[in-house]
Amino acid sequence: MKTFIILISVLCFSCLVHAQTLKQAEYFIDKDKGFGKNKKLNLVSSADSSYQFKINLSGISIGQHKLYIRTKDNKGKWSETVRENIDVVISSALPLITAGEYFFDVDPGYGKADKIVISNKDTVTLQNFTAAVSNLKEGFHKLYIRIKDNENSWGITLRENTEVIRTAEPAKIIAAEYFFTNDPGFRKATTKTFSKISADSTFKFKIAYNKIPSDADTLFIRTEDSLGKWSLTKIALFNVQALVKEAVASDAKTNTDSYQLTVFPNPATNMLNYNFKGVKNNATITILNSNGIVVKRYKSSAGETGQINISSLAAGVYVLQVDDGIKKQTIQFIKQ
């Protein structure tokens, strides 16, 4: 008895039966006897919601034929009739699918297209494969697929419409630059380039102590990516207290340990209080945003403690800098 195994995805019928329960299916070859008068199908649903069934080809002549399938839902409505071309061959057993190939747009000939490796050689196989599109232009293309059995017979070439869309390559950090006080402008600060780009775009470099100004406590840094775009300028606080002590060790009148800057509350909403222990009167108060840009600067005669109205600042991270002409200290705060 000749039989033909068909695998039909439930997606083929979902738009036809309008999401109703599938109650009946029938098929015919070449000639339709009418709705409900053809050979019935016993459908067994698989785990991926597709259906497998066998078709009896007894009495069907060798050669190409047209197989028609349709279903009926629980409301008695029939789906559209789906047609598949089939090839009936002389065989004592169902052939095994052993190989496959695919191509785009132009057929190079049987056996000359890109290979699809069949991992599970069987009469029916469900298998994913990856089609290479690196040599295709952006836009619409036609993808063709066909399979071959253990009798070296090729199946019908199937076609799918596809669209190739190019995505931008992720940018990677290739350089950085930094400065300590005034911003000299993009590509004008101290530059650090990276001959080897790390996979996660992290980077490290060293700054010599003798390159750090003696009164500096804030590092400004930004990076450039492989597309030539600069990041925001970020601020990093650091401590060079040991260097300051060494520089003023001979000055018995200067006690650098007496300086300490604190702010509260932090985060703050409208008013920010600061305490700069040891500061002299007429200190310069400066507020910088996260890009290192000065947003407020004024003179203060409040001495060690003071209060600043920050209600006009946008929410974000800021740096408060207090300079009394002898010592400058910096602290970070958050405006809510």
- Convert the pLDDT of each residue in 152-180 to its tens digit: 889 899 999 998 887 666 777 888 899 88
Neighbours of 85 (CB within 10 A): 10
Secondary structure of 96-112 in the HEC alphabet? CEEEEEEEECCCCCCCC
Neighbours of 109 (CB within 10 A): 7
For the chain, residues with pLDDT lower than 70 are 1-20, 44-50, 91-92, 167-169, 197-201, 237-259, 278-281, 301-304
What pLDDT score was predicted for residue 253?
36
Q: pTM of the entire structure?
A: 0.31
Nearest to 22 by CA among 45, 48, 56, 46: 45
| Cα dihedral 119, 122, 126, 132 sign | positive
Q: Is 37 left (phi over 0), alpha (psi -120 to 50) or beta?
A: alpha
User: At a CB cut-off of 8 Å and minimum separation 6, what does 165 contact?
Assistant: 138
What pLDDT score was predicted for residue 291?
75
**CA dist., res. 100 & res. 147, Å (int):** 4
What pLDDT score was predicted for residue 27?
92
